[in-house]
Structure 1
Amino acid sequence: MRIEQTAVIGAGTMGHALALVHALGGQRVSLHDSSPEVLRSAPALIEAASATLVDAGAVSASDARTALERITYTESLPDAVRDADLVVEAVVEKADVKRIVYDEIDRYAPGYAVIASNTSYLDPFPLIPAARQSRAAIAHWYTPPYIIDLVDLAPGPETAPEVIETLHALYKGFGKAPLVFDRLVPGYIANRLQQALNLECLRMIDEGWVSAEDIDQSIRHGLVHRLAVLGHMKKLDFTGLEMARLGIEGGTYEPPANMLQSPTLDRLIAAGRTGVRAGAGFYDYGDASADALFRERDLKLLRLKAQLKDLEGEDT
C-alpha cells in the first residue's frame, strides 16, 4: 500500500500543522477547510512554522521550500480527496460534524484511500460509513505535530491489519514515534495522563491550596527533568518499587473526582482570559503577540528535543 498523496480535512490548529508534517515527509498534500477564513490563514501559519524549523536547524531551507511547494489549498472537499491515498480528518470534536465529513469523504475519495482520524476523545468508527471501515483508523497527534513526535495509532473493529502497518511505516519514515494500540483506548495514554494532571492541578487551585505559578515551579523543577530522561515507569524503578507501594498503602492521597466543571476555569473564561491567543489565561502575556509566543515555545521545544536526542544516544 503506497501513500503518496494526502488530503488533510480541517485547516485549524492541528490541520494546518499536519499538512506541514506530511509535506515535510515527502507527501503531496491538499489542505481543505469549510471555512474560507480559516483556509486563507493557513498558508501564513504553515510558513511561520516551517521558518521556525529552519531557524532551529531542524530542517534545511531548501527542504522547507520544497515542502511548502507540495501543499495546495482548496475550498472543495471533493477536489481535496479525489486522488488521495490518505485522508487525514482533523475537524472539530463534534460527532455530527465528523459524520457529515466522513459521508463526503466516502462519496468522493477513491475506494483504496485510508481514512485516518486525528480525534482526541471521540470514537469515530460508528460515524464512518460501513464500506470504509476496513480502511479507517485513528492517527492522533499532539500539538505542535511538526515538533512532537508521538502519534497514537489505533484500529477500529474492522480495520485491516495492513492499514495500521502502513501508517506505522509511513510515520516512522517521517522520523516520528508512532505508538500502536490494539484497540481504541479513549484518550490514549498521554491524554489520559494530562487529564488526570489537569484535574489535580485545578482541584488544588479551586480549593485555594496553591497558585498556578506554584504548580508550574513544582513541575519544572521537580518532575520534568526526571520524566524527560526516564519516563514515569522507569522513574519508579529508580525510586524503588517498595517506595511506590508504601505511598499507595499510606492512603494519604485521594484522586480528585471529576465534577465536570472548575470554578477557576469558569472565572478565567468569563473574564476573557482563555489562553495565549487572548493575551491572558492563568498568566498575563502583556503586549506580546500570540505568534511570537508560539514561536518562542517552538524554538524552546526544538532545543530541548535536540538535547534529549543526544541523551538517548548515550543510553546503554
Structure 2
Amino acid sequence: MSIERVAMIGAGTMGHALALVHALGGCRVMLHDAASEVLARAPALIAKASATLCEAGTISTHEAEAARNRVCRAHTIEEAIANADLIVEAVVEKAEVKRAVFEEIDRFAPASAIIASNTSYLDIFPLIPASRQENAAIAHWYSPPYIVDLVDIAPGPSTAPEVIATLRALYESFGKAPLVFDRLVPGYVANRLQAALNLECLRMIDEGWASAGDIDFSIRHGLVDRLALLGHMRKMDYTGLEMIRNGLAARTYQPPENTGHSPALARLIDAGRTGVRAGAGFYDYGDEPVEDLLHRRDLGLLQLKKMLSGTTGGQE
C-alpha cells in the first residue's frame, strides 16, 4: 500500500513534530487539533524545528521549505481524514479522549486508511471500533521525532500483517529505525528502561543518597559514552557475563518498590517547578525562553547523532 496522504490528529508536542517528519518523508499532511490555539501555533513550531535541522546541516533550506509546504491545517477531523492513506493519532494519553477520536475516525475515514496510534503506554485496541481493527496499529515515537529515529511498531490482536509491513517500509524510507514487535508490550523497550531509571533516580533523591546533579554527573561521565557506543547488552558482553552473573548472585542491589509517589517530585510540582516550560524543575533555567532551551537541546542531539553515525558499536 502506498502512503501519500497523512492525517495528523493532535498538533501538540508530538503532533506538530510528527507532521514535519511525515512531510520531510514526502507525504502531504493534514494537521488537526481540537484546540484552535494549539493548531494555530503549529506552523511556527514546525518552522522552528525545520530551521534547526537546516542549521545543523541535516537538510537543505529547499527541503525544509518543501516540507513546510506539504503541511496544511484542518479545522475538523472530517476535513483532515477524508482522503487519508494513514491517520496518525497523537492526542493526550487519556483513554476516553482517544476513544472519542477513534469514533470520529471511524465515521469519516476511508475504509482502507491505516490508523497508527502514538500511544506511550495505553492498550488502544479496545478503544478502536471493530470495523477498523484490521487496519489499526501502534507507531510510537520519541521526542523530538525529527531527530530521534526509533519508532516502536506493534500490532493489535486483529491487525493485518501487511499493515505492519507498510508502516515499517514507510518509516525505513524516511531513514528512521522502526522496531517491530509481534504484540503490544506495554512501554515497549525504551520506555520500560526509562521507567526503571526514573524509579531508581527518584529513590536515590528521596532517600538523600544523591542529588539530581550527582545522578546526571554519574550518567554523563560513567554511562552515556559506553551506552551510546555499545548499547547495554553489548556492554554486558564487554564487561563479561560471569561478572554480571556474580553481581546477580550477590544480591547487593535491590530494585525500589514502585509506590506510585515520590516526595521529591511532589515538592517540585507543588512549588510550580514542573520542568523547562516552567523555568525550573530539578534545575533552574532562569528567564531563558523555552524555545531557546529546546533549540540548544536539538542542536546538541544533532551534533551527537552525527558523531555517532560513523561508529560501529563494537560490531564489525
Deviation at 1:312, TM superposition (A): 3.3
Q: For residue 69 of structure 1, what is the aligned residue in structure 2?
A: 69
Amino acid at match of 1:26: G
1:145 equivalent in alignment to 2:145: yes
Q: For residue 206 of structure 2, what is the aligned residue in structure 1?
A: 206
Q: For 1:167 and 1:189, locate their aligned partners in 2 and report how far apart those are by CA, in whole Å.
A: 19
The 3-state SS of whatever aligns with 1:237 is: helix
Q: Which runs of 5+ in 1 are unaligned?
A: none
Amino acid at match of 2:56: A
Return the TM-score normalized by structure 1.
0.99
Q: For residue 260 of structure 1, what is the aligned residue in structure 2?
A: 260
Amino acid at match of 2:100: I
Given the superposition, is the C-alpha separation of residues 313 and 190 from structure 1 closer, same or farther in structure 2, using an over 3 Å criterion? closer
Q: For residue 39 of structure 2, what is the aligned residue in structure 1?
A: 39
Q: For 1:257 and 1:15, locate their aligned partners in 2 and report how far apart those are by CA, in whole Å.
A: 34
Q: For 2:17 and 2:131, locate their aligned partners in 1 and report how far apart those are by CA, in whole Å.
A: 29
Deviation at 1:138, TM superposition (A): 0.2
CA contact (8 A) 2:230 2:314 kept: no
Q: For residue 292 of structure 1, what is the aligned residue in structure 2?
A: 292
Q: For 2:69 and 2:47, locate their aligned partners in 1 and report how far apart those are by CA, in whole Å.
A: 11
Q: For residue 235 of structure 1, what is the aligned residue in structure 2?
A: 235
Q: For 1:248 and 1:129, locate their aligned partners in 2 and report how far apart those are by CA, in whole Å.
A: 46
Given the superposition, is the C-alpha separation of residues 314 and 242 from structure 1 closer, same or farther in structure 2, using an over 3 Å criterion? closer
The 3-state SS of whatever aligns with 2:63 is: helix
Q: For residue 219 of structure 1, what is the aligned residue in structure 2?
A: 219
Q: For residue 306 of structure 1, what is the aligned residue in structure 2?
A: 306
Q: For residue 28 of structure 1, what is the aligned residue in structure 2?
A: 28
Return the TM-score normalized by structure 2.
0.99
Amino acid at match of 2:159: T
1:92 equivalent in alignment to 2:105: no
Q: For 1:156 and 1:312, locate their aligned partners in 2 and report how far apart those are by CA, in whole Å.
A: 34
Q: For 2:289 and 2:280, locate their aligned partners in 1 and report how far apart those are by CA, in whole Å.
A: 11
The 3-state SS of whatever aligns with 1:178 is: strand
Per-residue deviation, residues 1-46 of structure 1 (Å, max 9, x unmatched): 1100000000011000000000000000000000001001111111
Q: For 1:200 and 1:213, locate their aligned partners in 2 and report how far apart those are by CA, in whole Å.
A: 15
Q: For residue 5 of structure 1, what is the aligned residue in structure 2?
A: 5
Identity rate of aligned residues, in percent? Answer: 68
Amino acid at match of 1:160: A
Deviation at 1:314, TM superposition (A): 8.6
Given the superposition, is the C-alpha separation of residues 57 and 314 from structure 1 closer, same or farther in structure 2, using an over 3 Å criterion? farther
Per-residue deviation, residues 226-285 of structure 1 (Å, max 9, x unmatched): 000000000000000001001101111100010001101010000000000000000000
Amino acid at match of 1:218: S
Superposed CA RMSD in Å reads 0.9
Deviation above 3 Å: which 4+ runs of structure 1?
A: 312-315
Amino acid at match of 2:39: L
1:169-184 superposed matches below 5 A: 169-184=169-184
Deviation at 1:107, TM superposition (A): 0.4
Q: For residue 244 of structure 2, what is the aligned residue in structure 1?
A: 244
The number of residue pairs the alignment matches comes to 316
Q: For residue 82 of structure 1, what is the aligned residue in structure 2?
A: 82
